[in-house]
Amino acid sequence: MPKLDDIDLADLDRFTSGFPYRDFDDLRRDAPVWWHPPTAHTPGGEGFWVLSRYADIVAASADGATFSSETGGDRVGGGTTLEDMPMEFAVGALLNMMDDPRHAQFRRLLTPSTTPRALRAIEEDLRRRAIDIVDAAIAKGDCDFLIDVSAELPLQAVADLAGVPQTDRHELMNWANVTLDYEGREVGEVSDRVAQAQAQMFVYGTNLLVRKRSESPTTDLLSIVTHALIDGEPLSENEQRLFLSLIVAAGSETTRNSIAIAMSALSERPQTWEQLRANRTLLPVAVEEMLRWASSTPYNRRTATRDIEMHGQQIRAGDKVSLWWASANRDDAVFADPYNFDIERNPNPHLAFGRGVHFCLGASLARMEMRVMFEVLLDRVESVTLTGPIEYVRSNKHSGVRHMPVTINPR
């Protein structure tokens, strides 16, 4: 299999023109459970397993006891990124890097505030914000779609949901952006800029949590985590602070990338844009296709807790196992003509939000934000024309757009 020798999923330069879907076509066909050998770029000089087929990824994400979000075997660190995160500081303390039963107890506290029903209360507010955002971009004409349109709504929405004052949201976002971008560094390296951003976020988070604790409980997520008890004990300081970082990063970065990537797909397909305008009832189904298409979280990692055989390959306890949602979303065993952006695709069982117990907590919010944003764009904008190439973030963890130069033509 000579082609596979060329694949290096830890080489971030290979992600700067978007997700390398074609490499995964080869992997799904020839090596569905692939041992990615150590390369100059793999964190810790270690190899890792790559699952690329839909069915295998669904099976692994359904079996959290074998494929842990914490750790396994003799491994010292763990977590859900290719690089090992430290135990206790991140692993076992961050909601998404925690296994059941504590994960389930933690998550149960948050679900009532994130259901479609609970979110209905903020839909009109979001729509008003989306209108302001789109009108400001229309007034500019030439703008950066990522910065001027798609970044703002998710940021405002997540600030509301989490209970972060709107006036602080940009500062918080800047810190999160620095931490998530791998510009000028490799996976596993922490530059001075990143260390500084993390330190500032730490101080900010500590102060905000102190304030939340002193206030009466509300339904915002930070208020919930500061007042909650699990087995009669409050969440640790670390769990509370890390939750803030998680929610800001997970809530804003992913949705804005999905909006931007979906907009670029639509601007290349004017007929589809018109079809959506003519038939708004298609929008909820179209949003699912946008999510599949963008797959803005390409992968999450697990650690094997026991030896297991898959497709004749021996995975050992302690091995890193990566689940590539973006690859599953182009698997033609599930999606007919997967490279066709089909806004009427239904059913569309994409894995953009993951699967299993860690299924995205913010899925309903993200869906609503995308629907509202595209409703407003279709109402007010004739067309969006790309005026230059999309600049992607240098990362294999986020299909992130850094800049997307466009001209917005009003209706």
Closest listed residue to residue 208, CA positions, set 179, 167, 254: 167
Q: Residues 50, 60, 85, 250: which binds ligand HEM (CB under 6 A)? A: 250
Residues 284-303 contacting ligand HEM, CB under 6 A = 291, 296-297, 300
124 Cβ contact partners less than 8 Å away, ≥ 6 residues apart: none
d(CA 73, CA 404): 43
- d(C-alpha 135, C-alpha 132), whole Å: 5
Q: Of 369, 119, 158, whose CA–CA distance to 245 is shortest?
A: 158
Count of residues binding ligand HEM (CB under 6 A)?
Answer: 28
Name which of 263 and 366 has its Cβ closer to ligand HEM: 366
In 3D space, the residue among 384, 374, 347, 323 whose CA is nearest the CA of residue 24 turns out to be 323
- From 145, 204, 324, 325, residue interacting with ligand HEM (rule: CB under 6 A): 325
Distance CA 135, CA 130 (A): 8
CA dihedral 119, 125, 128, 130 (to 10 degrees): -40
352 binds ligand HEM (CB under 6 A): yes
Measured from the CB atom, is 107 or 330 closer to ligand HEM? 107
Query: At 148, is the secondary structure helix, strand, or coil?
Result: helix
Q: Which of 80, 303, 305, 327 binds ligand HEM (CB under 6 A)?
A: 80
Q: Of these, 10, 138, 158, 326, which contacts ligand HEM (CB under 6 A)? A: 158
CB of 98 to ligand HEM, least distance (A): 7
> Is residue 251 near ligand HEM by the rule CB under 6 A?
yes
> Rounded CA gap, 378 and 277, in Å?
6
Binding track, positions 19-58, relative to ligand HEM; x by CB under 6 A: ----------------------------------------
Chain residue whose CB lies nearest ligand HEM: 362
Mark 357-396 with x for binding to ligand HEM (rule: CB under 6 A) and - for no binding.
-x-xxx--xx------------------------------
Instruction: Check residue 71 for interaction with ligand HEM (CB under 6 A).
Output: no
Question: What is the C-alpha to C-alpha distance for residues 279 and 12, in angstroms, rounded to an integer?
Answer: 40
Q: Which member of 223, 245, 258, 272 binds ligand HEM (CB under 6 A)?
A: 258
The minimum distance between CB 80 and ligand HEM, in angstroms, equals: 4
Sign for the CA dihedral angle at 147, 148, 149, 152 comes to positive
Beta bridge partners of 143: 406
Nearer to ligand HEM, 250 or 393 (CB): 250
327 binds ligand HEM (CB under 6 A): no
> Which structure tokens are listed for 230?
């699990």
Contact 406, 134 (CB under 8 A): no
Decide if 4 contacts 386 (C-beta within 8 A): no
138 vs 244, which CB is nearer to ligand HEM?
244
Binding site for ligand HEM (CB under 6 A): 69, 80, 95-96, 107, 158, 161, 246-247, 250-251, 254-255, 258, 291, 296-297, 300, 325, 352-354, 358, 360-362, 365-366
